[in-house]
Amino acid sequence: MIPLIDISLILLIIFMVITPALVQSQIRVNLPAASSGTKGTDDNVIKVQLSTDGRAAVNGKKIEFDALERELVLRFARAGEKTLLVEADKDVPVKRVVKVLDTAKELGAGKIGIAVAQQEEK
């Protein structure tokens, strides 16, 4: 029989190796600041990240902006509660954000939100 500590150490090593790959799969987004806003819950939320260089990510999976609609169709088909959160860089053109919001609404999204950073008080 294999001791439980051996299994635990092997699982720890596996997670240590996999974690950097999971962190690198997300794109960096510089969110705009807002003085008002509420904290949302992360339960059953489809997160769309938009960067200034034309890349997008859906729940951390990098895709091209042109393939975003196809990816959202797949995600919304599997989602029970259809909630979308857009994390767009502050320099992303508004028309790209509106296109994502419009696509989500056409796919039956019940709740749609835009992520912002908390504005620092002076």
pLDDT in tens for each of the 122 residues of the chain? Answer: 678 888 899 999 998 888 776 655 556 655 555 555 555 555 678 888 888 888 888 888 888 888 888 888 888 877 667 788 888 887 888 888 888 888 888 888 888 888 767 666 55
71: its two tokens: 């990816």
Dist. CA 116–CA 34, nearest whole Å: 6
Residue of 1, 56, 9, 6 whose CA lies nearest to 28:
56
Name the pairing type of β-strands 61-64 and 83-88: unpaired
Dist. CA 25–CA 16, nearest whole Å: 16
Residue type, 61: K
CATH architecture classification, 28-118: 2-Layer Sandwich (3.30)
Provide the pLDDT for residue 12: 92
Provide the pLDDT for residue 41: 55
Residue of 46, 66, 70, 48 whose CA lies nearest to 57:
48
Domain boundaries, the chain: 28-118
Give me the phi and psi of 84, to 5 degrees please: -125, 135
